[in-house]
A and B are shown apart, each in its own frame.
Chain A
Protein backbone atom coordinates (compact mmCIF):
# COMPACT_ATOMS: atom_id res chain seq x y z
CA UNK A 1 0.00 0.00 0.00
CA UNK A 2 1.16 3.52 -0.74
CA UNK A 3 1.70 5.81 2.24
CA UNK A 4 -0.62 8.69 3.15
CA UNK A 5 1.98 11.15 1.81
CA UNK A 6 2.23 9.32 -1.49
CA UNK A 7 -1.58 9.20 -1.80
CA UNK A 8 -1.69 12.97 -1.27
CA UNK A 9 0.94 13.53 -4.00
CA UNK A 10 -1.10 11.35 -6.33
CA UNK A 11 -4.24 13.40 -5.62
CA UNK A 12 -2.23 16.57 -6.44
CA UNK A 13 -1.03 15.20 -9.75
CA UNK A 14 -4.53 14.10 -10.78
CA UNK A 15 -5.54 17.78 -10.55
CA UNK A 16 -3.12 18.66 -13.38
CA UNK A 17 -5.19 16.81 -15.99
CA UNK A 18 -8.72 16.80 -17.33
CA UNK A 19 -8.71 12.98 -17.19
CA UNK A 20 -7.57 10.88 -14.25
CA UNK A 21 -5.80 8.32 -16.42
CA UNK A 22 -3.23 10.93 -17.47
CA UNK A 23 -1.81 10.80 -13.95
CA UNK A 24 -0.63 7.20 -14.40
CA UNK A 25 2.99 8.14 -15.15
CA UNK A 26 3.18 10.56 -12.20
CA UNK A 27 1.61 7.94 -9.96
CA UNK A 28 4.12 5.32 -11.05
CA UNK A 29 6.98 7.75 -10.34
CA UNK A 30 5.59 8.42 -6.86
CA UNK A 31 5.14 4.69 -6.20
CA UNK A 32 8.61 3.77 -7.43
CA UNK A 33 10.21 6.48 -5.32
CA UNK A 34 8.53 4.99 -2.26
CA UNK A 35 8.82 1.27 -3.01
CA UNK A 36 11.85 1.07 -5.29
CA UNK A 37 9.92 -0.95 -7.88
CA UNK A 38 6.43 -1.58 -9.22
CA UNK A 39 4.84 -4.83 -8.01
CA UNK A 40 1.60 -6.47 -9.16
CA UNK A 41 0.03 -5.25 -5.95
CA UNK A 42 1.09 -1.64 -6.69
CA UNK A 43 -0.30 -1.92 -10.22
CA UNK A 44 -3.68 -3.01 -8.82
CA UNK A 45 -3.63 -0.20 -6.28
CA UNK A 46 -2.85 2.44 -8.93
CA UNK A 47 -5.59 1.08 -11.21
CA UNK A 48 -8.00 1.46 -8.29
CA UNK A 49 -6.95 5.02 -7.51
CA UNK A 50 -7.22 6.13 -11.15
CA UNK A 51 -10.40 4.18 -11.96
CA UNK A 52 -8.86 2.33 -14.90
CA UNK A 53 -8.46 -1.40 -15.64
CA UNK A 54 -5.16 -2.76 -14.34
CA UNK A 55 -4.11 -3.78 -17.87
CA UNK A 56 -3.93 -0.05 -18.72
CA UNK A 57 -1.41 0.45 -15.92
CA UNK A 58 0.48 -2.68 -16.94
CA UNK A 59 0.90 -1.63 -20.55
CA UNK A 60 2.34 1.69 -19.43
CA UNK A 61 4.66 0.27 -16.80
CA UNK A 62 6.04 -2.27 -19.27
CA UNK A 63 6.51 0.28 -22.07
CA UNK A 64 8.56 2.84 -20.14
CA UNK A 65 12.01 1.60 -19.19
CA UNK A 66 12.38 3.84 -16.14
CA UNK A 67 10.04 1.66 -14.10
CA UNK A 68 11.47 -1.43 -12.43
CA UNK A 69 9.27 -4.47 -12.77
CA UNK A 70 11.28 -6.38 -10.20
CA UNK A 71 12.97 -5.48 -6.97
CA UNK A 72 16.31 -3.75 -7.48
CA UNK A 73 19.06 -2.90 -5.02
CA UNK A 74 18.82 0.09 -2.74
CA UNK A 75 21.25 1.80 -5.12
CA UNK A 76 20.43 1.18 -8.77
CA UNK A 77 23.56 2.05 -10.78
CA UNK A 78 22.78 2.77 -14.42
CA UNK A 79 25.69 3.38 -16.77
CA UNK A 80 25.08 5.12 -20.09
CA UNK A 81 26.63 3.10 -22.92
CA UNK A 82 25.39 5.20 -25.82
CA UNK A 83 27.79 6.79 -28.30
CA UNK A 84 29.28 9.84 -26.56
CA UNK A 85 29.84 7.88 -23.36
CA UNK A 86 31.19 4.86 -25.27
CA UNK A 87 33.71 7.07 -27.05
CA UNK A 88 35.03 8.15 -23.66
CA UNK A 89 35.22 4.74 -22.07
CA UNK A 90 31.83 3.67 -20.70
CA UNK A 91 32.74 0.04 -21.47
CA UNK A 92 35.63 0.40 -19.09
CA UNK A 93 33.34 2.02 -16.49
CA UNK A 94 30.95 -0.94 -16.67
CA UNK A 95 33.82 -3.43 -16.38
CA UNK A 96 35.24 -1.58 -13.40
CA UNK A 97 31.87 -1.49 -11.60
CA UNK A 98 31.38 -5.20 -12.29
CA UNK A 99 34.75 -5.89 -10.72
CA UNK A 100 34.22 -3.63 -7.72
CA UNK A 101 30.72 -4.89 -6.96
CA UNK A 102 31.38 -8.48 -7.97
CA UNK A 103 28.31 -8.72 -10.17
CA UNK A 104 27.28 -8.67 -13.80
CA UNK A 105 25.04 -6.23 -15.69
CA UNK A 106 21.39 -6.84 -14.86
CA UNK A 107 22.22 -8.34 -11.46
CA UNK A 108 22.03 -7.25 -7.81
CA UNK A 109 24.42 -7.84 -4.93
CA UNK A 110 23.37 -10.50 -2.43
CA UNK A 111 22.79 -7.93 0.31
CA UNK A 112 20.41 -6.11 -2.10
CA UNK A 113 22.35 -2.88 -1.78
CA UNK A 114 23.49 -2.50 -5.39
CA UNK A 115 22.11 -3.30 -8.84
CA UNK A 116 23.93 -2.63 -12.10
CA UNK A 117 22.35 -1.78 -15.47
CA UNK A 118 23.41 -0.40 -18.82
CA UNK A 119 21.12 2.33 -20.16
CA UNK A 120 20.72 4.49 -23.27
CA UNK A 121 21.66 8.18 -23.56
CA UNK A 122 20.76 10.23 -20.47
CA UNK A 123 21.66 13.67 -21.84
CA UNK A 124 25.07 13.99 -20.20
CA UNK A 125 27.09 13.71 -23.41
CA UNK A 126 29.25 16.75 -22.63
CA UNK A 127 30.22 15.29 -19.25
CA UNK A 128 30.77 11.69 -20.39
CA UNK A 129 31.24 9.04 -19.19
CA UNK A 130 28.37 9.10 -16.73
CA UNK A 131 26.07 6.99 -14.60
CA UNK A 132 22.85 7.55 -12.74
CA UNK A 133 22.28 6.14 -9.26
CA UNK A 134 18.58 6.24 -8.45
CA UNK A 135 17.71 9.84 -9.42
CA UNK A 136 21.20 11.37 -9.22
CA UNK A 137 23.68 11.90 -12.05
CA UNK A 138 27.42 11.27 -11.62
CA UNK A 139 29.48 12.66 -14.49
CA UNK A 140 33.04 12.78 -15.87
CA UNK A 141 33.64 9.40 -14.26
CA UNK A 142 37.05 7.94 -13.50
CA UNK A 143 38.04 4.89 -11.43
CA UNK A 144 39.00 7.15 -8.52
CA UNK A 145 35.65 8.92 -8.70
CA UNK A 146 33.77 5.64 -8.71
CA UNK A 147 35.75 4.46 -5.67
CA UNK A 148 34.72 7.59 -3.78
CA UNK A 149 31.07 7.29 -4.80
CA UNK A 150 30.89 3.62 -3.77
CA UNK A 151 32.57 4.45 -0.50
CA UNK A 152 30.03 7.20 0.20
CA UNK A 153 27.29 4.61 -0.38
CA UNK A 154 28.81 2.26 2.16
CA UNK A 155 30.64 -0.12 -0.17
CA UNK A 156 33.90 -1.21 1.46
CA UNK A 157 37.18 -0.36 -0.23
CA UNK A 158 38.68 -3.15 -2.30
Chain B
Protein backbone atom coordinates (compact mmCIF):
# COMPACT_ATOMS: atom_id res chain seq x y z
CA UNK B 1 0.00 0.00 0.00
CA UNK B 2 1.54 3.24 -1.16
CA UNK B 3 0.94 6.56 0.53
CA UNK B 4 0.96 9.43 -1.95
CA UNK B 5 -0.83 12.27 -0.11
CA UNK B 6 1.20 11.99 3.07
CA UNK B 7 4.48 10.61 1.72
CA UNK B 8 6.40 13.81 2.51
CA UNK B 9 4.77 14.50 5.85
CA UNK B 10 7.82 13.31 7.79
CA UNK B 11 10.35 15.18 5.62
CA UNK B 12 11.94 18.22 7.26
CA UNK B 13 10.46 21.52 5.99
CA UNK B 14 7.98 19.61 3.79
CA UNK B 15 5.73 22.68 3.62
CA UNK B 16 8.31 24.65 1.60
CA UNK B 17 8.46 24.81 -2.18
CA UNK B 18 12.18 23.98 -2.04
CA UNK B 19 11.49 20.57 -0.53
CA UNK B 20 8.39 20.08 -2.70
CA UNK B 21 10.37 20.68 -5.91
CA UNK B 22 13.25 18.49 -4.74
CA UNK B 23 10.91 15.49 -4.34
CA UNK B 24 10.91 14.93 -8.10
CA UNK B 25 7.26 15.30 -9.00
CA UNK B 26 6.81 18.84 -7.63
CA UNK B 27 4.74 21.04 -9.99
CA UNK B 28 5.28 18.52 -12.86
CA UNK B 29 1.52 17.96 -12.98
CA UNK B 30 0.88 21.68 -13.50
CA UNK B 31 3.51 21.78 -16.22
CA UNK B 32 2.03 18.78 -18.02
CA UNK B 33 -1.57 19.90 -17.60
CA UNK B 34 -1.02 23.45 -18.86
CA UNK B 35 1.33 22.58 -21.71
CA UNK B 36 0.18 19.16 -22.91
CA UNK B 37 -3.49 18.80 -22.00
CA UNK B 38 -6.68 20.61 -22.95
CA UNK B 39 -9.17 21.57 -20.23
CA UNK B 40 -11.56 18.89 -21.56
CA UNK B 41 -8.87 16.22 -21.31
CA UNK B 42 -8.25 17.11 -17.67
CA UNK B 43 -11.93 16.98 -16.76
CA UNK B 44 -12.23 13.63 -18.56
CA UNK B 45 -9.25 12.26 -16.68
CA UNK B 46 -10.68 13.33 -13.30
CA UNK B 47 -14.06 11.84 -14.28
CA UNK B 48 -12.41 8.58 -15.35
CA UNK B 49 -10.44 8.38 -12.10
CA UNK B 50 -13.67 8.19 -10.11
CA UNK B 51 -12.39 10.82 -7.64
CA UNK B 52 -15.17 11.64 -5.18
CA UNK B 53 -15.40 14.61 -2.85
CA UNK B 54 -13.69 14.14 0.51
CA UNK B 55 -15.81 16.67 2.40
CA UNK B 56 -18.65 14.36 3.34
CA UNK B 57 -21.12 14.08 0.46
CA UNK B 58 -18.84 12.10 -1.87
CA UNK B 59 -20.02 13.75 -5.09
CA UNK B 60 -17.93 12.81 -8.18
CA UNK B 61 -15.43 15.65 -8.64
CA UNK B 62 -15.02 15.38 -12.43
CA UNK B 63 -18.77 15.51 -12.94
CA UNK B 64 -19.00 18.62 -10.73
CA UNK B 65 -16.24 20.26 -12.78
CA UNK B 66 -18.07 19.44 -16.01
CA UNK B 67 -21.13 21.43 -14.84
CA UNK B 68 -19.22 24.70 -15.16
CA UNK B 69 -20.04 26.75 -18.29
CA UNK B 70 -17.41 26.29 -21.01
CA UNK B 71 -17.44 29.90 -22.22
CA UNK B 72 -15.70 32.74 -20.46
CA UNK B 73 -18.50 35.27 -20.86
CA UNK B 74 -18.64 35.89 -17.10
CA UNK B 75 -16.12 35.53 -14.28
CA UNK B 76 -15.94 32.04 -12.77
CA UNK B 77 -14.68 31.04 -9.36
CA UNK B 78 -13.30 28.08 -7.42
CA UNK B 79 -13.78 27.86 -3.68
CA UNK B 80 -11.64 25.41 -1.80
CA UNK B 81 -13.42 24.30 1.33
CA UNK B 82 -10.97 24.25 4.24
CA UNK B 83 -13.60 25.08 6.85
CA UNK B 84 -13.03 21.63 8.44
CA UNK B 85 -15.54 21.87 11.27
CA UNK B 86 -17.24 18.46 11.39
CA UNK B 87 -16.42 17.24 14.90
CA UNK B 88 -13.80 14.50 14.74
CA UNK B 89 -12.24 15.85 11.53
CA UNK B 90 -8.65 17.10 11.49
CA UNK B 91 -7.22 15.89 8.18
CA UNK B 92 -7.22 18.96 5.90
CA UNK B 93 -5.22 20.75 8.53
CA UNK B 94 -2.43 18.15 8.11
CA UNK B 95 -2.20 18.77 4.37
CA UNK B 96 -1.92 22.53 4.96
CA UNK B 97 0.70 22.13 7.66
CA UNK B 98 2.80 19.48 5.95
CA UNK B 99 2.31 19.57 2.18
CA UNK B 100 0.37 22.63 1.00
CA UNK B 101 1.96 22.72 -2.46
CA UNK B 102 0.13 19.58 -3.60
CA UNK B 103 -3.08 21.47 -2.79
CA UNK B 104 -1.94 24.53 -4.75
CA UNK B 105 -1.09 22.30 -7.72
CA UNK B 106 -4.58 20.79 -7.63
CA UNK B 107 -6.12 24.26 -7.51
CA UNK B 108 -4.10 25.48 -10.49
CA UNK B 109 -5.04 22.40 -12.54
CA UNK B 110 -8.70 22.69 -11.55
CA UNK B 111 -8.75 26.39 -12.42
CA UNK B 112 -7.16 25.76 -15.82
CA UNK B 113 -9.64 22.95 -16.53
CA UNK B 114 -12.67 25.07 -15.64
CA UNK B 115 -11.44 28.38 -17.08
CA UNK B 116 -11.22 30.01 -13.65
CA UNK B 117 -8.83 32.85 -12.83
CA UNK B 118 -9.72 33.46 -9.18
CA UNK B 119 -9.63 30.91 -6.38
CA UNK B 120 -10.67 31.45 -2.76
CA UNK B 121 -9.48 29.09 -0.08
CA UNK B 122 -12.06 29.30 2.71
CA UNK B 123 -10.18 28.35 5.87
CA UNK B 124 -11.83 28.18 9.28
CA UNK B 125 -11.04 31.26 11.34
CA UNK B 126 -9.43 29.31 14.20
CA UNK B 127 -6.75 27.90 11.87
CA UNK B 128 -4.68 31.07 12.18
CA UNK B 129 -1.26 29.43 12.10
CA UNK B 130 -2.37 27.18 9.22
CA UNK B 131 -3.52 30.25 7.28
CA UNK B 132 -0.01 31.68 7.68
CA UNK B 133 1.65 28.48 6.44
CA UNK B 134 -0.72 28.42 3.48
CA UNK B 135 -0.09 32.09 2.65
CA UNK B 136 3.67 31.43 2.70
CA UNK B 137 3.18 28.54 0.28
CA UNK B 138 1.01 30.70 -2.00
CA UNK B 139 3.65 33.46 -1.93
CA UNK B 140 6.34 30.92 -2.87
CA UNK B 141 4.20 29.69 -5.76
CA UNK B 142 3.84 33.28 -7.05
CA UNK B 143 7.61 33.82 -6.74
CA UNK B 144 8.26 30.69 -8.79
CA UNK B 145 5.85 31.58 -11.58
CA UNK B 146 3.17 28.99 -10.80
CA UNK B 147 0.65 31.65 -9.82
CA UNK B 148 -0.06 35.10 -11.23
CA UNK B 149 -0.04 36.23 -14.83
CA UNK B 150 1.07 33.94 -17.69
CA UNK B 151 1.74 30.84 -15.62
CA UNK B 152 4.85 29.05 -16.96
CA UNK B 153 4.80 31.27 -20.04
CA UNK B 154 1.27 30.26 -21.10
CA UNK B 155 -1.61 32.71 -21.45
CA UNK B 156 -3.26 31.31 -18.30
CA UNK B 157 -3.63 33.66 -15.30
CA UNK B 158 -4.58 32.65 -11.79
CA UNK B 159 -4.81 34.28 -8.38
CA UNK B 160 -5.36 32.38 -5.12
CA UNK B 161 -6.65 34.21 -2.06
CA UNK B 162 -7.23 33.01 1.49
CA UNK B 163 -10.55 33.90 3.10
CA UNK B 164 -10.68 33.31 6.85
CA UNK B 165 -13.99 32.25 8.35
CA UNK B 166 -15.33 33.20 11.74
CA UNK B 167 -16.04 29.97 13.61
CA UNK B 168 -19.37 28.90 12.12
CA UNK B 169 -19.86 25.20 11.24
CA UNK B 170 -22.57 26.09 8.74
CA UNK B 171 -19.99 27.79 6.49
CA UNK B 172 -18.73 24.33 5.53
CA UNK B 173 -22.02 23.95 3.63
CA UNK B 174 -21.23 25.12 0.11
CA UNK B 175 -23.83 27.85 -0.25
CA UNK B 176 -23.28 29.04 3.33
CA UNK B 177 -19.60 29.25 2.42
CA UNK B 178 -20.37 31.41 -0.61
CA UNK B 179 -22.53 33.77 1.45
CA UNK B 180 -19.68 34.06 3.92
CA UNK B 181 -17.18 34.93 1.18
CA UNK B 182 -19.54 37.70 0.11
CA UNK B 183 -19.29 39.10 3.64
CA UNK B 184 -22.66 37.96 4.92
CA UNK B 185 -24.03 35.63 7.59
CA UNK B 186 -23.33 32.06 6.47
CA UNK B 187 -26.96 31.10 5.90
CA UNK B 188 -27.30 28.51 3.13
CA UNK B 189 -29.17 29.28 -0.06
CA UNK B 190 -31.98 27.27 -1.60
CA UNK B 191 -30.89 24.98 -4.42
CA UNK B 192 -31.47 25.20 -7.34
CA UNK B 193 -29.86 27.30 -8.64
CA UNK B 194 -26.69 25.28 -8.07
CA UNK B 195 -23.28 26.91 -7.62
CA UNK B 196 -22.07 26.01 -11.12
CA UNK B 197 -24.77 28.33 -12.46
CA UNK B 198 -25.15 30.80 -9.62
CA UNK B 199 -22.34 30.88 -7.09
CA UNK B 200 -20.25 33.62 -5.49
CA UNK B 201 -21.75 37.00 -6.41
CA UNK B 202 -24.06 35.09 -8.75
CA UNK B 203 -21.20 33.83 -10.95
CA UNK B 204 -20.46 30.18 -11.84
CA UNK B 205 -18.57 28.58 -8.95
CA UNK B 206 -17.19 25.16 -8.09
CA UNK B 207 -16.59 24.17 -4.49
CA UNK B 208 -14.55 21.15 -3.47
CA UNK B 209 -13.05 20.04 -0.21
CA UNK B 210 -9.34 20.73 0.31
CA UNK B 211 -8.37 17.05 0.29
CA UNK B 212 -10.27 16.50 -2.96
CA UNK B 213 -8.07 19.08 -4.74
CA UNK B 214 -4.98 17.50 -3.17
CA UNK B 215 -5.53 14.23 -5.08
CA UNK B 216 -5.60 15.97 -8.46
CA UNK B 217 -1.88 16.40 -9.18
CA UNK B 218 -1.30 12.72 -8.42
CA UNK B 219 -4.04 11.69 -10.87
CA UNK B 220 -2.55 13.92 -13.58
CA UNK B 221 0.96 12.57 -12.95
CA UNK B 222 0.06 8.91 -12.85
CA UNK B 223 -3.21 8.62 -14.73
CA UNK B 224 -6.82 7.78 -13.97
CA UNK B 225 -6.19 4.03 -14.36
CA UNK B 226 -3.58 4.07 -11.58
CA UNK B 227 -5.99 5.91 -9.29
CA UNK B 228 -8.88 3.59 -10.13
CA UNK B 229 -6.71 0.65 -9.17
CA UNK B 230 -6.68 1.85 -5.57
CA UNK B 231 -9.67 1.43 -3.26
CA UNK B 232 -12.97 -0.07 -4.39
CA UNK B 233 -14.89 0.17 -7.66
CA UNK B 234 -17.03 3.10 -6.55
CA UNK B 235 -14.75 4.65 -3.94
CA UNK B 236 -11.42 5.09 -5.64
CA UNK B 237 -8.05 6.18 -4.31
CA UNK B 238 -6.61 6.56 -0.86
CA UNK B 239 -8.25 8.81 1.67
CA UNK B 240 -7.32 10.35 4.99
CA UNK B 241 -8.91 8.72 8.03
CA UNK B 242 -8.69 10.75 11.22
CA UNK B 243 -8.92 8.55 14.30
CA UNK B 244 -9.69 10.06 17.70
CA UNK B 245 -11.17 9.08 21.05
CA UNK B 246 -10.23 6.01 23.07
CA UNK B 247 -7.43 4.59 20.90
CA UNK B 248 -3.76 4.14 21.71
CA UNK B 249 -2.48 6.01 18.64
CA UNK B 250 -4.90 8.70 17.50
CA UNK B 251 -3.96 10.47 14.28
CA UNK B 252 -4.47 10.78 10.54
CA UNK B 253 -3.94 7.61 8.49
CA UNK B 254 -3.77 7.54 4.69
CA UNK B 255 -5.34 4.28 3.55
CA UNK B 256 -7.25 3.02 0.52
CA UNK B 257 -11.04 3.11 0.60
CA UNK B 258 -12.35 -0.35 1.46
CA UNK B 259 -9.99 -1.03 4.36
CA UNK B 260 -11.88 -2.50 7.30
CA UNK B 261 -12.78 -0.33 10.28
CA UNK B 262 -11.32 -3.05 12.49
CA UNK B 263 -7.93 -2.80 10.76
CA UNK B 264 -7.89 0.99 11.20
CA UNK B 265 -8.74 0.80 14.91
CA UNK B 266 -6.68 -2.21 15.94
CA UNK B 267 -3.68 -2.11 13.59
CA UNK B 268 -3.13 1.50 12.59
CA UNK B 269 -4.47 3.24 15.69
CA UNK B 270 -3.04 0.56 18.00
CA UNK B 271 -6.29 -0.67 19.55
CA UNK B 272 -8.34 0.58 22.48
CA UNK B 273 -6.64 2.40 25.38
CA UNK B 274 -5.75 0.12 28.30
CA UNK B 275 -6.99 -2.72 26.07
CA UNK B 276 -10.51 -1.81 27.16
CA UNK B 277 -13.60 -3.23 25.53
CA UNK B 278 -14.87 -1.36 22.47
CA UNK B 279 -18.40 -0.02 22.78
CA UNK B 280 -19.19 2.12 19.76
CA UNK B 281 -17.62 3.92 16.79
CA UNK B 282 -18.76 6.99 14.90
CA UNK B 283 -17.31 6.22 11.45
CA UNK B 284 -17.36 9.50 9.52
CA UNK B 285 -17.66 12.56 11.73
CA UNK B 286 -20.27 13.58 14.28
CA UNK B 287 -23.16 13.58 11.78
CA UNK B 288 -22.80 9.91 10.87
CA UNK B 289 -24.73 7.22 12.71
CA UNK B 290 -22.88 5.26 15.36
CA UNK B 291 -21.83 1.63 14.83
CA UNK B 292 -21.60 -0.97 17.59
CA UNK B 293 -18.54 -3.08 18.45
CA UNK B 294 -19.84 -6.08 16.51
CA UNK B 295 -20.13 -4.04 13.29
CA UNK B 296 -16.48 -3.10 12.83
CA UNK B 297 -15.75 -5.63 10.12
CA UNK B 298 -17.42 -3.09 7.84
CA UNK B 299 -15.31 -1.83 4.94
CA UNK B 300 -14.68 1.90 4.94
CA UNK B 301 -16.12 3.00 1.60
CA UNK B 302 -19.27 4.84 0.53
CA UNK B 303 -21.36 1.79 -0.38
CA UNK B 304 -20.38 -0.47 2.52
CA UNK B 305 -21.12 2.14 5.14
CA UNK B 306 -24.42 3.01 3.52
CA UNK B 307 -25.36 -0.68 3.67
CA UNK B 308 -24.39 -0.65 7.34
CA UNK B 309 -26.86 2.18 7.88
CA UNK B 310 -24.28 4.91 8.31
CA UNK B 311 -22.01 6.99 6.10
CA UNK B 312 -18.31 7.53 5.39
CA UNK B 313 -18.73 11.30 5.86
CA UNK B 314 -15.33 12.92 6.28
CA UNK B 315 -13.62 9.68 7.33
CA UNK B 316 -13.42 10.96 10.91
CA UNK B 317 -13.52 7.93 13.18
CA UNK B 318 -14.40 8.55 16.85
CA UNK B 319 -13.77 5.48 19.01
CA UNK B 320 -15.50 4.91 22.36
CA UNK B 321 -14.68 2.26 24.96
CA UNK B 322 -16.96 0.58 27.51
CA UNK B 323 -16.68 3.44 30.01
CA UNK B 324 -18.56 5.80 27.65
CA UNK B 325 -22.04 7.01 28.52
CA UNK B 326 -23.96 7.12 25.24
CA UNK B 327 -26.53 9.56 26.61
CA UNK B 328 -23.70 11.97 27.36
CA UNK B 329 -22.44 11.43 23.80
CA UNK B 330 -25.89 12.44 22.58
CA UNK B 331 -25.85 15.41 24.90
CA UNK B 332 -22.49 16.70 23.62
CA UNK B 333 -23.44 16.22 19.96
CA UNK B 334 -26.92 17.72 20.22
CA UNK B 335 -25.44 20.72 22.04
CA UNK B 336 -23.11 21.22 19.08
CA UNK B 337 -25.91 21.27 16.50
CA UNK B 338 -28.03 23.52 18.69
CA UNK B 339 -25.11 25.93 18.84
CA UNK B 340 -24.39 25.76 15.10
CA UNK B 341 -27.84 25.89 13.49
CA UNK B 342 -28.02 29.06 11.41
CA UNK B 343 -31.63 29.54 12.51
CA UNK B 344 -33.36 30.17 9.21
CA UNK B 345 -35.40 26.91 9.02
CA UNK B 346 -37.88 26.28 11.82
CA UNK B 347 -37.40 22.48 11.94
CA UNK B 348 -33.67 22.87 12.48
CA UNK B 349 -33.70 25.89 14.80
CA UNK B 350 -36.42 24.45 17.04
CA UNK B 351 -35.55 20.78 16.60
CA UNK B 352 -31.89 21.09 17.59
CA UNK B 353 -32.85 23.05 20.71
CA UNK B 354 -35.54 20.59 21.78
CA UNK B 355 -33.37 17.57 21.14
CA UNK B 356 -30.55 18.93 23.27
CA UNK B 357 -32.91 19.99 26.05
CA UNK B 358 -34.52 16.54 26.22
CA UNK B 359 -31.25 14.59 26.10
CA UNK B 360 -29.71 16.84 28.75
CA UNK B 361 -32.77 16.18 30.91
CA UNK B 362 -32.39 12.42 30.50
CA UNK B 363 -28.67 12.62 31.30
CA UNK B 364 -29.49 14.46 34.54
CA UNK B 365 -31.93 11.71 35.51
CA UNK B 366 -35.00 13.84 34.94
CA UNK B 367 -36.27 12.17 31.76
CA UNK B 368 -39.56 10.35 31.13
CA UNK B 369 -39.90 7.21 29.06
CA UNK B 370 -42.09 9.13 26.54
CA UNK B 371 -39.10 11.39 25.84
CA UNK B 372 -37.52 8.68 23.69
CA UNK B 373 -40.34 8.61 21.20
CA UNK B 374 -40.54 12.39 21.25
CA UNK B 375 -36.85 12.49 20.30
CA UNK B 376 -37.45 10.16 17.36
CA UNK B 377 -40.45 12.19 16.31
CA UNK B 378 -38.46 15.43 16.36
CA UNK B 379 -35.63 13.75 14.45
CA UNK B 380 -37.92 12.50 11.70
CA UNK B 381 -39.45 15.97 11.31
CA UNK B 382 -35.97 17.45 10.97
CA UNK B 383 -34.91 15.09 8.20
CA UNK B 384 -35.21 16.21 4.59
CA UNK B 385 -37.36 19.24 5.39
CA UNK B 386 -34.86 22.08 5.43
CA UNK B 387 -32.77 24.23 3.08
CA UNK B 388 -29.50 22.45 3.89
CA UNK B 389 -28.33 19.21 5.49
CA UNK B 390 -27.41 20.54 8.94
CA UNK B 391 -30.83 19.54 10.20
CA UNK B 392 -30.36 15.98 8.91
CA UNK B 393 -26.85 15.96 10.34
CA UNK B 394 -28.30 16.80 13.75
CA UNK B 395 -31.03 14.15 13.52
CA UNK B 396 -28.87 11.19 12.41
CA UNK B 397 -26.61 10.82 15.46
CA UNK B 398 -29.64 10.87 17.78
CA UNK B 399 -31.42 8.26 15.65
CA UNK B 400 -28.26 6.13 15.63
CA UNK B 401 -27.81 6.31 19.41
CA UNK B 402 -31.44 5.41 20.05
CA UNK B 403 -31.28 2.55 17.60
CA UNK B 404 -28.38 0.77 19.27
CA UNK B 405 -28.26 2.17 22.80
CA UNK B 406 -31.91 2.72 23.67
CA UNK B 407 -31.53 0.53 26.78
CA UNK B 408 -28.96 2.95 28.12
CA UNK B 409 -31.36 5.87 27.73
CA UNK B 410 -34.05 3.81 29.48
CA UNK B 411 -31.65 2.97 32.29
CA UNK B 412 -31.02 6.69 32.93
CA UNK B 413 -34.77 7.24 33.15
CA UNK B 414 -35.37 4.23 35.44
CA UNK B 415 -32.48 4.97 37.80
CA UNK B 416 -33.19 8.71 37.69
CA UNK B 417 -29.45 9.33 37.27
CA UNK B 418 -26.53 8.66 34.93
CA UNK B 419 -25.21 5.16 35.73
CA UNK B 420 -21.75 6.15 34.45
CA UNK B 421 -20.56 8.55 37.11
CA UNK B 422 -16.96 8.66 35.87
CA UNK B 423 -17.64 8.66 32.16
CA UNK B 424 -15.72 11.38 30.29
CA UNK B 425 -13.70 12.29 33.36
CA UNK B 426 -10.98 9.73 32.53
Spell out A's residues near B (CB within 8 Å).
16-19, 21-26, 28-29, 50, 56, 59-60, 63-67, 81-84, 86-92, 119-128, 132, 135-137
Contact = CB atoms under 8 A, between A and B. Distances in A.
B106 interface: no
12 contacts: A23-B183, A56-B183, A63-B168, A81-B332, A82-B336, A86-B328, A88-B245, A121-B87, A123-B93, A125-B87, A126-B250, A127-B90
Contacts, number: 154
Given A66-B125, A125-B316, A87 B324 contact: yes
B166 A28 contact: yes
Nearest to B329: A83
Nearest to A126: B250
B107 interface: no
Contact of B251 (A81, A119, A126): A126
B81 interface: no
Interface of B: 75, 84-90, 93, 120, 124-129, 161, 163-169, 180-186, 201, 242-246, 250-252, 282, 286, 316, 318, 320, 324, 328-329, 332-333, 336, 339-340, 342, 424-426
A85 to B, nearest CB: 9
Select the residue from B129, B163, B180, B183 with max chain A CB neighbours within 10 A.
B183
A121 B250 contact: no
Contacts of A88: 245-246, 426
B87 A66 contact: no
A67 B169 CA distance: 15
A126 B243 contact: yes
A21 to B, nearest CB: 4
A67 B340 contact: no
Contacts of B181: 17, 22
Nearest to B120: A16
A123 B425 contact: no
Given A25-B163, A63-B168, A83-B329, A126 B252 contact: yes
Contact of A26 (B163, B243, B342): B163
Contacts of B320: 87
Given A125-B242, A126-B90, A132-B126, A25 B180 contact: yes
B393 to A, nearest CB: 13
A21 B182 contact: yes
Contacts of A19: 182-183, 201
A66 B126 contact: yes
Given A25-B163, A25-B180, A136-B129, 8 more contacts: A28-B166, A29-B125, A65-B166, A82-B332, A86-B328, A87-B246, A124-B90, A126-B250
